[in-house]
Each structure stands twice: as structure tokens, then as C-alpha cells.
A and B are shown apart, each in its own frame.
Chain A
Amino acid sequence: MATKAKAEKAATGEDGGSRRDFLILATSAVGATGAALAAWPLVDSMNPSADVLALSATEVDISPIEVGQAITIQWRGKPVFIRHRTADEIARAENTKLDELPDPQTDQDRVEKPQWLVLVGVCTHLGCIPLGQKVGEPRGDWGGWFCPCHGSHYDLSGRIRKGPAPKNLSVPPYTFLDDTMLRIG
């Protein structure tokens, strides 16, 4: 035991060994920190640039959209569905029982004003754009949207009802600037 402790002391003791170890460790640590800091600008340059971030809010005039109509606009490069729902559609969306839904959420939680439904038009399965915006397109079994890629059905609140998509169509952040102007983002 004694000889072992002595040997350990010699390896790490006052003969300069530990001093050198300390210097190597300290130098390496400073070097590694410097390298990491230098790498950050390279990594960050691949994040969205200022001109891309500048596109993160879109304003749209919703006054021309008649009851029952829907339009698609672009926000951050993605399609956003704006649907002017009829009274019947609102009633159907609001009266849906939560236990029928794979991703339970009330219609009230998904809208600011019941007649205006605003959704990101990207299927939550693998990113296709669901059909149902234009007249004559299939709208699925619940009268909302139908994704042609893998057959997901969305209802009149944009909630997933059937198919492989795990979640409801997401609601983008938006505010009504006044009765006719909607700001998305």
C-alpha cells in the first residue's frame, strides 16, 4: 500500500508532473472554448437571415372573402388557409364532442372570431398541402380538408379526424388589426 501511494505521489506530485498536466489541461480548455466560439458564427450564418425574418409577418385584407369562401395566402413561405365559415359550419365545429377527436381541442380554442378560421395549410403528417380550399376539391368525410398524400381527414375546425396525421392543423399567431385587416405572424 505504502509503495503504491508513493508511486502515485511521484506521478502526480511536486516533481513538476502535475504542473505540466495543469498547463496542458488549461491550455486545451482555452483552446477548445476558443474553437467553439469561433464555430458559432459559422453555425449561426445558416440560421434564417435578416431578410428571411423580415418576411415573418403578412397582412391580408379579408373584406372580399364572402361567407363560405376560403383563400390561401403565403406566410413564411407556407400556405395559410383563411376560411369565412357559414353559421352551419360554425355550429358543426362547435358541437363536436371532444372524445371523438384524436387531438382533442375545442373550436373556441382555435379561433379568435368564430366566422374566421385561420390555419397553417400543412398536413401534420409529412407536410403536404391538404385539398379543400377550391370549389370541387375533395374535403374529406368531415367537410373540412383532405390530404391527398396519405389520406388524412380534417374537419371544419382543421382538426384531425381520420388518417395518419397525429395533430390538428396548426393555428398561426394572428391578430385582427381592424374589421377587414388580418395580420399573420
Chain B
Amino acid sequence: MLSPEKGIGKWIEDRLPVFSIARHSLIDYPTPRNLNYWWNFGSLAGITLVIMIVTGIVLAMQYTPHVDMAFNSVERIMRDVNYGWLLRYLHMNGGTMFFIVVYIHIFRGLYYGSYKAPREILWWLGIVILLLMMATAFMGYVLPWGQMSFWGTTVITNMFSAVPLVGEDIVTWLWGGFTVGNATLNRFFSLHYLLPFVIVGVVLMHIWALHTVKSNNPLGIDMKGPQDSIPFHPYYTVKDNFGLGVFFFVYLTIVFFFPNFFGEPDNYIPANPMATPPHIVPEWYFLPFYAILRAVPDKLGGVIAMFASILILFVLPWLDRARVRSARFRPIYKQFFWLFLVDCFVLGWVGANPPEGMFVTIGQVATIYYFAHFLILLPLLGMFEKTRPLPESIAASVTSAAVTSSKG
């Protein structure tokens, strides 16, 4: 093994300190000793990103971004390319897994108050990653050039026509024509290839910020000394690897046995610009936002509400005034957290159904509650909630009678 103390290892280390950086951030990095399994999802998201990039690069070697050939080139990948079916299903369902993992990661942050000082920039970078992921996933969904690809793109890009005065011009510019067409497909392919690497860049900043402020933990209190922390390796490398095994079990079960569970059958019909499918739905991970879009009975208003539902996360650290981070010590917030989670599932359910009858009302109520959670409940909780006493330290909570106060 190369050693930074002698020989070639030292020669490299003196010129580019890769060994000390790797040691500092992957081995010695002091991690709170009390992290639970909800803290596995950050590294899982990183690994999923790598899987998406690797499978994506080999798929791009076989794919043809042209309106006349895109659909057939995907079918060729499925039938003729060696393991093409596997690569495509890994990539397709990898997108689903990526969003599952990242949504859990985000709700973990919401529950344990990981967005609060001094982690605001860490939180912002996470939201930027989410936005980039959404753009990447949306553009990737266009590439197979099926009916849902075409009409999903048409609907989503048309949202920009809600912009006053220049809306129509913006949409024409996005399309590179007067409808979604070959120019649109080409630029979406280009950006779908580019954005994952931008995500990698933001992820590196995310990790940099994390290693500067250190990980939050289920107690939401700071590490006060070496007795509160354990080195990242081997403790969390082993734990992350165990989680990775569980993750692969779920992921590969989907890939091998239910590869089209999350997809839409209509996307196996080649794109037809002359016929809209009767019921257009986005991919499942966009459904809550789609419900918010449709809840507002005004074109521009709906688009604003949809973007606001994500952008509001940027100001969350200042909307939530409570100084206690973890929901374990916030009995009222804890209940509203679960209500908020249920609300997001309701929005997703509404988004998957046609905007008729009771779904309209439910969608509007759920949308109002979504924003009320951030704009009304959180500021009020910060003022009136009586929090439970925090343990003295992370070490004390596991070694003394303080255990009882940290349950939950």
C-alpha cells in the first residue's frame, strides 16, 4: 500500500495532499456517536448519483437523440444491446430510488432541524441539488420520446407561457420551434448529460459545508468534545455499507421483478404530436408539486405556487424560530411534522388523479395547509411551543439517566 510517509506516496503527498484529505474526510472525520439509520440516506444519495452517471454514460453510447429515431433506439437498447435492458431499467428505476432516498434525506433534515444555524448554507446547497435533480429527471423523461415524454414536456414547458408579456417567446425559445420537436429533444439530451455533473459539483460543496459544520444528530445538540464523537471509519463506513446492502435489495428487486411499476404504459407508445393521451401525469416524484400547480385556479398563480412550494425551503431556517433543533424535544412540532408528511402524501395522491370532483377541493385544502405549515405554524411554534429539556451532551445522554429524556 502507498504510504504518505515514504516513497512514491510521500512524493505525491508533498505535491498534492490527496492522502491527508482522504484521511481527514473519510476516516478521521469526527461524527456524532448517536447517528441513527436516517443518517444513511446522504451517502445512499451520493452512491445513487454515481450509479445514474455510470449507467447514463453507457446508455448515451447507444441512444439517438432524434425525433425519428429516439423511440426505436431505446427499443434497440432493450432488445439488441448486450445487457441494454438491465442498464435501462437500472437508470429508469435509479431515478425513482434517487428521489425516494433524497426525499427521506430531506424529511430527516426537517424532523431533526438540520437546516438550523449553523447549517443554513448546507441546507441551501441541498435544495439546489433537489432543483437540479428535478430538471435532470424531467429532461431525462423526454428522451424515450413516448407519448408521456412528448406531452409531459409540452405541458411543463407551457407553464412558462404564464410569464406576463414574454411568456410565449420564452416557450418558443425553450422549444427552439413552434412545438416540442427535434430541437427540443436535442437540447434536453445535451442538458440531461450536463446537469448530473453540475450536481456532482454542488454535492462536493454540500459535503464541504457538512464537514465544516459537522453532522447534526438525533438529539440536535452540538458535539462538545471527543467523547461525543467517533471516527467516520470504520463506524459509519460499516453502517453505510450495511444500509447500501438493504438499498440494493430494494432497488434490484424493483429492477428485476417490477421494472415498469413506476412508469406509465403510455410511454411505450411513440410520441404523436397530433393526439394527446386522455390522462397526463408526471412521474410520481413530481405529483405533490403537480397537485399544487393545479390547485390554484389561475395559470400564473399555479405556476408561482408550484415554484414557491420548493423555494420556501430556502427561508425555512428563518421561518422556524425555535432554537431547539430536534423534534424529539419539540412535542408539538413533532405532531405537525407528521401532519405535514401526511399532507405531502395527500398532495401526491391528488396529483395522480384527474382534477375533478372532490380532488379539486382536497388538493386546495392540502395546498393551503402546505404553505400554512411553513408560514403560520412554524413561526407560531417558535414563539409558543414549550420544548423539553435537552440532555447535557451526546455522551451524557447515552451513559446516564438522561436516556429517559431522549426517548422518542
Q: Interface of A with B (CB < 8 Å)?
A: 41-42, 44-47, 49-52
Contact = CB atoms under 8 A, between A and B. Distances in A.
Q: Give 10 nearest A-B pairs by CB, closest first.
A: A41-B83, A50-B80, A51-B80, A49-B80, A44-B82, A49-B81, A45-B82, A45-B83, A45-B58, A42-B58
B84 A46 contact: no
A49 B59 CA distance: 13
B182 interface: no
25 contacts: A41-B83, A41-B86, A41-B87, A42-B54, A42-B87, A44-B83, A45-B58, A45-B61, A45-B81, A45-B82, A45-B83, A45-B84, A45-B87, A46-B58, A46-B61, A47-B82, A49-B62, A49-B76, A49-B80, A49-B81, A49-B82, A49-B84, A50-B79, A51-B80, A52-B80
B55 interface: yes
Interface residues on B, range: 10 to 19
Contacts of B79: 50
A45 B55 CA distance: 10
A26 to B, nearest CB: 14
Contacts of A50: 79-82
A41 B86 CA distance: 8
Interface string B82-95: 11101100000000
A63 to B, nearest CB: 34
Contacts of A42: 54-55, 58, 83, 87
Nearest to B54: A42
A41 B76 contact: no
Which of A42, A45, A50, A52 has most chain B Cβ within 10 Å?
A: A45
A41 B89 CA distance: 12
A51 B62 CA distance: 12
Contacts of B82: 41, 44-45, 47, 49-50
Contacts of B55: 42
A51 B82 CA distance: 10
A51 B76 contact: yes
Contacts of A41: 82-83, 86-87
Nearest to A51: B80
Contacts of A44: 82-83
Nearest to A31: B241
Contacts of B61: 45-46
Contacts of A49: 62, 76, 80-82, 84
Nearest to B87: A45
Contacts of B76: 49, 51
A45 B76 CA distance: 12
Contacts of B54: 42
A51 B72 CA distance: 13
Interface in B59-109: 61-62, 76, 79-84, 86-87
Nearest to B79: A50
Contacts of B86: 41
